Structure 1
Amino acid sequence: MPGRMATERATAHANEVFQQRHVDGGHRAEHSAGWTATIAPRSMAHVDTAPMNPRRPRSQVFGACMFGEAPNDRCAARHHGVIVIALVAALSGCAGLGERDDLDEYGDSAEASQQALYDEAQQALRSGNYTESIVRLQRLDARFPFGRYAEQSQLELIFAHHMIGDHDAALAAADRFIRLHPQHPNVDYAHYMRGLSSLAQDRGIFRRFLGTDISRRDITNIKQAFVYFNDLVTSFPGSIYAMDSRQRMIYIRNVLAAHELNVATYYLGRGAFVAAANRARYVIENFSQTNAVPDALAVLVEANWQLGLDDSAHDALAVLALNFPDYYAFDGQGQLVLRKVIDNRQRNWLNMVTFGLLGRPEAPPPLTIRRSGTVAKNPS
């Protein structure tokens, strides 16, 4: 009896202390006469208000709550709290699973993972497996955007995209590098690859295997490539890519001049002599160092003759004879013999469906322009 009374008095005293501390708030533990009361936040303060049996270990009380041996509010709340903690721990483990797998694959440190990814990308590049190298380089760039291989991997992504023919992706990667690293010592390479990728966009399967004349197609990308190469040689005249860029600019200028000449010839064949003369004059004035100039002069001569502008035609003929005396259209007497092409309007359906092999119409007689200013058709 005395022991029981002492225990009851201690329990009453502990509960009184608990109530005082609960009013003040906070998170404390009060130990008195063999029981423990844990102070939870205000919404959970009722959970541990009952004393614990001093002869029963805490783990047994916890187990009783888990397995239903103590059906009271305290056990139910504790059971719910354990479930929440377990769910949070599980979700945290899932969040770090991918990163942990990557670290397990490449090593126990982020540095080892970064080095391994870069080495694998380099091996794929050296073996010509550009698709695999792109996967590795993109993963490296995504996981370590500020790592020691970040800038180099971005440059190599440009190259890898270009090599597999994904020129749009190469252009996007080059633009991104120039935007992010305008002062990088190798930014001239990004400018150079922009020009190459733009130039390569017009080299499709027909151009590659059938030899399609690039000047007869849309030249929007070719013009853009010229702008990119010009930016390189202007901003980085001492670059190791400057000389090659200048050579490619010469090539592009010839392509642009040939395109304008094709348009002028088309207008000439359609009888649009004013438009033909304007296009030919544009070639002469803007592409004077290209191979299209003599043909442009010949178009200008013929267009002016057709318009009745004899003096203008004679002047153009004199320039042609002076600068290009070996022009193929001059005959032995120095006369300009212009052979007329067959207009599509003169072709019949048989000639069209056989791609010109059958039913070919007779070519119109050539136009001979003498330096004296006279015009002869059908010279014989």
Structure 2
Amino acid sequence: MNTSVMGERRRVFRVALLVAGLAGISSFVSGCQSDPDIDISTYAQSIEPADVLYNQGLANLEAGQLTEAGRKFDAVDKQHPYSEFARKAMVMSAFTNYRQAQYTEAINTANRYLSLYPNDEDAAYAQYIVGLAYYRQIPEVTRDQRTSARAIAAFTEVVERYPDSEYVEDSQAKLRYARDQLAGKEMQVGRYYQERREYVAAANRYRLVVEQFPNTRQVEEALARLVETYYAMGLESEAQTAAAVLGHNYPDSQWYADSYRLLSTRGLEPRENKGSWISRAGAALVGS
């Protein structure tokens, strides 16, 4: 477990671990159903204090006993709903689910926390867990990237809603990766259309990468592919502009060398048309 994240959780409560030797609540309820004359006070004794359950959960978490830790945190919420410890246990339950790769449960629990306590001190952490859970499910670029889009939405929420939180820097790093995945998927589709000589459809995909994902690794190739597709359609000014923007941002790129060579076959050279969408988009690119 990341020591800084665990340290944050430890700072919430660091009281001594108490072990309660009481019968489990489930076995007691079963006994209640078969014995209508049982004293209800016995049931009250079977409910462990919230702080005991919570700190048992922390101890289990530190010992790597994730399943048991999750049970303790969930027990706090069930036995002491809406208490201070239940609020904190809900966040830890989300984290424990995440550590066990139970991503749907982690997302649901964290979102429940956010709906109940949107302005709480741990809200940024809960939102960060949502992002992490989606992030860990991002598939390779050849597959559907809806999970990447959800990770982007979750991490963007961390950055924009909790700009002073300690999770912003890592969220931004993971945002870059997730965006690169989405851009990579668009490039894959664009190349497919280009190979089939469906140049308009291909150019639209490459344009989307340049305009919507300017700070990704895919932009360099996207500009070069725009040179190729516009060149193939006879749109020489657009091809020249794409090459000029590519050369300005990536002058030492092999993609630029290839684009320059392609234009020269018709006696053309990179030349930027300031009225083109490519020129306007070029100001936001990585190399600008």
TM-score with structure 2 setting the length: 0.74
Q: Does 1:186 align with 2:127?
A: no
Q: Does 1:336 align with 2:259?
A: yes
Q: Larger % of strand: which?
A: 1
1:12-51 correspondence runs (5 A): none
1:225-304 correspondence runs (5 A): 225-304=151-230
1:198-213 correspondence runs (5 A): 198-202=134-138
Flag structure 2 segments of 5+ consecutive residues without an equivalent: 1-32, 269-288
- Alignment CA distance shift 1:311-1:130 (3 Å): same
Structure 1 residue 194 displacement after superposition: 0.8
Amino acid at match of 1:157: S
Structure 1 residue 94 displacement after superposition: 7.7
Paired residues in the alignment total 236
Give the secondary structure class of the aligned counterpart of 1:173: helix
* Residue in structure 1 matching 2:248, options 322, 329, 332: 322
User: Which residue of the partner structure matches residue 266 of structure 2?
Assistant: 373
Contact 2:111 2:126 in 1 (8 A): yes
* Residue in structure 2 matching 1:125, options 58, 61, 77: 61
Structure 1 residue 314 displacement after superposition: 2.6
Give the secondary structure class of the aligned counterpart of 1:169: helix
Contact 1:314 1:371 in 2 (8 A): no
Query: Could you tell me how far apart the structure 1 residues matched to 2:144 and 2:97 are?
Result: 23
User: Which residue of the partner structure matches residue 274 of structure 2?
Assistant: none
* Residue in structure 2 matching 1:309, options 210, 231, 235: 235
Contact 2:221 2:255 in 1 (8 A): no
- Alignment CA distance shift 1:329-1:241 (3 Å): closer
Structure 1 residue 124 displacement after superposition: 1.2
Structure 1 residue 90 displacement after superposition: 4.2
- Alignment CA distance shift 1:198-1:335 (3 Å): closer
Amino acid at match of 1:217: R
Amino acid at match of 2:126: A
Structure 1 residue 227 displacement after superposition: 1.0
Give the secondary structure class of the aligned counterpart of 1:238: coil
- Alignment CA distance shift 1:186-1:115 (3 Å): closer
User: Which residue of the partner structure matches residue 11 of structure 2?
Assistant: none
Flag structure 1 segments of 5+ consecutive residues without an equivalent: 1-87, 104-109, 204-213, 338-367, 376-380
Spell out, residue by residue over 1:326-352, the C-alpha distance to the aligned partner (whole angstroms, 9 max, x if none): 22245xxx5538xxxxxxxxxxxxxxx
TM-score with structure 1 setting the length: 0.57
Q: Larger % of helix: which?
A: 2
Query: Could you tell me how far apart the structure 1 residues matched to 2:135 and 2:234 are?
Result: 41
- Alignment CA distance shift 1:122-1:284 (3 Å): same
- Alignment CA distance shift 1:148-1:319 (3 Å): closer
Q: Could you say which structure has the greater relative contact order, defined with CA pairs below 8 angstroms and 6 or more residues apart?
A: 2
User: Which residue of the partner structure matches residue 8 of structure 2?
Assistant: none
Over the matched positions of the two proteins, sequence identity in percent amounts to: 29
Query: Could you tell me how far apart the structure 2 residues matched to 1:329 and 1:143 are?
Result: 62
- Alignment CA distance shift 1:94-1:313 (3 Å): same
